[in-house]
């Protein structure tokens, strides 16, 4: 198992430079090819009615004008990283286009993009929509936070769930390359979570992963996880997302919602 293709969401939002730097570094560290997909049709805007059609056509025209600068930036990053890079332009909607490409890629890199410019607002819901819709892992890179040169330390936020299991299995190639891995479990209401974390640590060691287990007896996972990520000096946080429904997360709050809104470090997530 290895990472051979890193898929990058290319768009003129404020997070592009950060996720490009992360994706290029990941491709260099894993020996993967880097593929950028640039879409002309904006996300989440239906082509309904004359006014909306005119608006969408204007956004498409602007996307075509902005492409050359982003492509040049991509080519410079690829050359500096010494990796093979491919730029693809698709006349389609971004979530659907990336979902189609994920099947033929090992990991997809997107951004946590704050609301700001029109491009930011159009891209803001992409991370959760893509992670829920696709059949592969997604890395959500924070915007305007330090980008690691390489992934040396990885924090695995673990609980015995299907989603967390998917995330860890997808992340095995990255975990094996890391210098240190910490499996973090938080007591909350699950009495078996500590034992499960110990089992995961032992399992990772069979894959050559240098992992240790840390169990926290008190605190809420949504608070403990970002605190531990900072304390551990994590370059990447691996976790499953939406182990309960999105509706429950929206109403009750949850770890997924809070970390997607403000990730402390790049998030490697899967559903």
More confident call, 131 vs 167: 167
Q: Is residue 235's pLDDT more than 50?
A: yes
Structure tokens, 47: 């082509």
User: Could you give the angle at the alpha carbon of 41 between the alpha carbons of 35 and 47, nearest 5°?
Assistant: 155
Name the band, by pLDDT with cuts 50, 70 and 90, for residue 119.
Answer: low
Is the C-alpha dihedral spanning 264, 237, 22, 126 positive or negative? negative
DSSP assignment letter at 87: E
Q: In this predicted model, what pLDDT tens digit does every residue of 88-97 receive, in sequence order?
A: 998 877 778 8
Q: In this predicted model, what pLDDT tens digit does every residue of 172-183 receive, in sequence order?
A: 999 999 999 999
For the chain, give me the number of helices (H) and strands (E)? 10, 10
Name the band, by pLDDT with cuts 50, 70 and 90, for residue 247.
Answer: very low
- State how far the Cα of 26 lies from the Cα of 78, in Å rounded to an integer: 11
Question: What is the reported pLDDT for 73?
Answer: 98
Name the band, by pLDDT with cuts 50, 70 and 90, for residue 253.
Answer: very low
Cα-to-chain-centroid distance, residue 240: 11
DSSP assignment letter at 142: P
Question: What is the reported pLDDT for 113?
Answer: 61
Question: What is the reported pLDDT for 80?
Answer: 97
Q: What is the mean pLDDT of the chain?
A: 86
User: Could you give the angle at the alpha carbon of 82 between the alpha carbons of 79 and 87, nearest 5°?
Assistant: 55
Question: What is the reported pLDDT for 254?
Answer: 67
Structure tokens, 43: 């996300």
Q: In this predicted model, what pLDDT tens digit does every residue of 3-41 receive, in sequence order?
A: 999 999 998 888 999 999 999 999 999 999 999 999 887
Average pLDDT over residues 126-148: 80
Is the C-alpha dihedral spanning 242, 107, 209, 238 positive or negative? negative
Average pLDDT over residues 151-169: 95
More confident call, 178 vs 54: 178
Question: What is the reported pLDDT for 248?
Answer: 42
- State how far the Cα of 225 lies from the Cα of 87, in Å rounded to an integer: 35
Average pLDDT over residues 81-108: 89
Percent of the chain with pLDDT over 90: 59
- The pTM for the full model equals 0.89
């Amino acid at each position: 198992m290895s990472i051979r293709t890193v898929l990058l969401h290319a768009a003129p939002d404020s997070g592009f430079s950060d996720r490009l730097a992360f994706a290029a570094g990941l491709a260099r560290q894993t020996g993967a090819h880097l593929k950028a997909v640039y879409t002309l049709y904006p996300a989440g805007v239906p082509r309904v009615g004359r006014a909306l059609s005119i608006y969408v056509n204007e956004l498409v025209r602007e996307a075509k004008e902005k492409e050359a600068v982003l492509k040049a930036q991509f080519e410079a990053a690829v050359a500096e990283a010494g990796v093979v890079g491919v730029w693809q332009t698709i006349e389609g909607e971004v979530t659907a286009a990336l979902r189609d490409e994920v099947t033929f890629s090992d990991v997809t890199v997107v951004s946590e993009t704050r609301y700001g410019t029109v491009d930011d607002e159009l891209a803001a819901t992409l991370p959760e929509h893509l992670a829920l819709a696709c059949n592969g892992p997604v890395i959500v890179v924070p915007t305007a936070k330090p980008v690691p040169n390489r992934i040396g330390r990885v924090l695995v936020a673990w609980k015995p769930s299907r989603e967390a299991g998917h995330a860890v299995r997808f992340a095995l190639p990255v975990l094996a390359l890391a210098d240190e891995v910490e499996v973090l479990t938080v007591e909350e209401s699950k009495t078996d979570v500590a034992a499960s974390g110990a089992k995961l640590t032992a399992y990772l060691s069979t894959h050559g992963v240098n992992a240790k287990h840390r169990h926290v007896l008190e605190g809420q996972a949504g608070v403990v996880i970002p605190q531990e990520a900072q304390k551990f000096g994590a370059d990447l946080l691996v976790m499953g997302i939406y182990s309960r429904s999105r509706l429950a997360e929206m109403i009750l709050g949850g770890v997924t919602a809070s970390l997607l809104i403000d990730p402390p470090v790049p998030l490697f997530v899967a559903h």
